[in-house]
Amino acid sequence: MLFRPAIENDLPAVMRLAERAGAGMTSLPHDEQRLLARMQRSVDTFAGRLPAHEQGFLFVLEDPDTAQVVGVSAIEVAVGLSEPFYNFRIQRTVRASRDLGVYKNLELLTMSYDHTGHSELCTLFLDPDYQKNRNGLLLSKARLLFIAAFRELFSAQIFAEMRGVLTDEGKSPFWDALGHHFFAMPFVDADRMTGCGAKTFIAELMPSYPIYINLLPEDARAVIGQVHARTAPARSILEKEGFRWTGSVDIFDAGPVLEAETDRIRAIKESYQVAANADLRFPGVPTLVSNTQFNQFRAMLLLPNAQGVIPSLDNIQMDALQIAENDPVRLVALNPEESTA
C-alpha cells in the first residue's frame, strides 16, 4: 500500500470515500466541487503558491495492485488565521453556600479559540473493505513522518478533532440537545454547511455565554468527549502516539479534540533519516519508511519476513518510493510497543 499526495485525478475515488464516510466527517463533505477545491488547495500548497494560513495537505492511500485509492487523510498547517476556529472547552466552577451547607462542583461549556494557529490532523477515512493489514495505521501515521521531515512548516502544538457520537439514523444527541435550539436545522445540514466552508453562521448564532452541562439531557451529557464507533480506532492510534484529550470538544457533536506537543509525538520524535542503500538494516518490526521529497512524498509499510527480518528495499519498493540507491529515507517503528528508540 502506497501513501502519497492527492491529485485532481483522485477526485472520483475520494468522492466514493466521502459517500461511505457519512455524516459527521465535516472535513470530507460529499460535494464534488468542495472536494475538488480541497484537492486543488493541497496541490497549490505543495507547489508553494499559498500563504501559511491557507495551506493544507491532502494525502491518499493507494492499492498499487489495482491503482485504486482506498483511504484519505490530511494535515492543516495553521487553523483559525483566516476565520475563527471554534471549540467548546469544559471548565469547572463551584457554587457554595456555607449557611446551607451546599457545595456544588459544576462543569461548563465555554466557547474557545485555543487552537488558533495550530496544525491539525484531519480527514482520516479508510474504505471499510481495507480496514485490515495495518492499513489504518499507515494512513494515519505516515502523516507524522511527513511532519517530521518538514518540521519547520508546522506549529509547536498539533491537534485532531474526532468525530462524535451519532445514532444509526445520523442524529447527534448533543446537537439535538443544544445546537439545534440555536441553529434551527438538522445536524446533517449544519455539518454540511461547515464542511462547505460556511462557518460564519456559527459566530452569528451560537451563544457566547457558558452553558451548564448538568442542564443538558442525560443522553447529550453521556456523549461529550466520546467518539463515533468508526472513529474509535483512529483515537486509539493517536493516543498511543502521545495525544491526549484535555477538555476541548467539537461544538456540533461534542467529539473530543486530542492535543499533543508536536516534538513529543512518538513517531516524530523517534523517526530518523538514513541512506537507502543495500546495507540498510531495518528494525525487525513493522516499520514505516518514506522518502524525504516534499512534492513527491511517498510512504509505505515494511513487514518482517518469516525470519523476523526486513530485507533491504527491492527495486519495486524503491520505484514506488521514487528513490535511488543512497537517497535518504526516513524510518520509524510502526507501533510504540515495538519501538527500538
User: What is the tens place of the pLDDT at every residue in 171-204?
Assistant: 889 999 988 888 777 777 777 666 655 556 666 7
Q: Is 120 a residue whose pLDDT tops 70?
A: yes
Alpha-carbon distances of 41 from 76, 119, 206, 276, rounded to whole Å: 11, 16, 29, 32
**Nearest CA to 258 among 273, 247, 269?**
247
Question: 202 and 178 in contact (C-beta within 8 Å)?
Answer: no
Entry field: residues in the chain: 341
Distance of CA 211 to the CA centre of its chain: 27
Query: What is the per-residue pLDDT for 186?
Result: 78
Backbone dihedral angles phi then psi of residue 186, each to the nearest 5 degrees? -65, 160
Rounded distance between C-alpha atoms, residue 291 and residue 327, angstroms: 8
Residue predicted with more confidence, 78 or 340: 78
Residue 228 is among the residues annotated as catalytic for this protein: yes
Q: Is 279 a residue whose pLDDT tops 60?
A: no
In the three-class reduction of DSSP (H, G, I as helix; E, B as strand; rest coil), residue 208 is classed as coil
Query: Scanning the structure block, which residue is given the C-alpha cell 440555536?
Result: 182
Going by the DSSP 8-state scheme, the letter that residue 11 receives in this structure is H
| C-alpha cell recorded at residue 311 | 530485507
Query: What is the per-residue pLDDT for 305?
Result: 82
Query: What is the per-residue pLDDT for 218?
Result: 95
End-to-end Cα, the chain, rounded Å: 25
Does the pTM surpass 0.85? The reply is yes
Q: Is 205 a residue whose pLDDT tops 90?
A: no
pLDDT category at 133 given cuts 50, 70, 90 is very high
* Beta strand segments in 205-324, E: 211-212, 244-249, 256-261, 272-275, 287-291, 299-302
| Cross-strand pairs, 218 | none
| C-alpha cell recorded at residue 171 | 442524529
Rounded distance between C-alpha atoms, residue 258 and residue 140, angstroms: 14
| C-alpha cell recorded at residue 81 | 488565521
Query: What is the per-residue pLDDT for 200?
Result: 62
Catalytic residue among 30, 115, 118, 228: 228
Question: 79 and 122 in contact (C-beta within 8 Å)?
Answer: no
Residue predicted with more confidence, 230 or 5: 5
| C-alpha cell recorded at residue 92 | 469547572
Residue predicted with more confidence, 304 or 63: 63
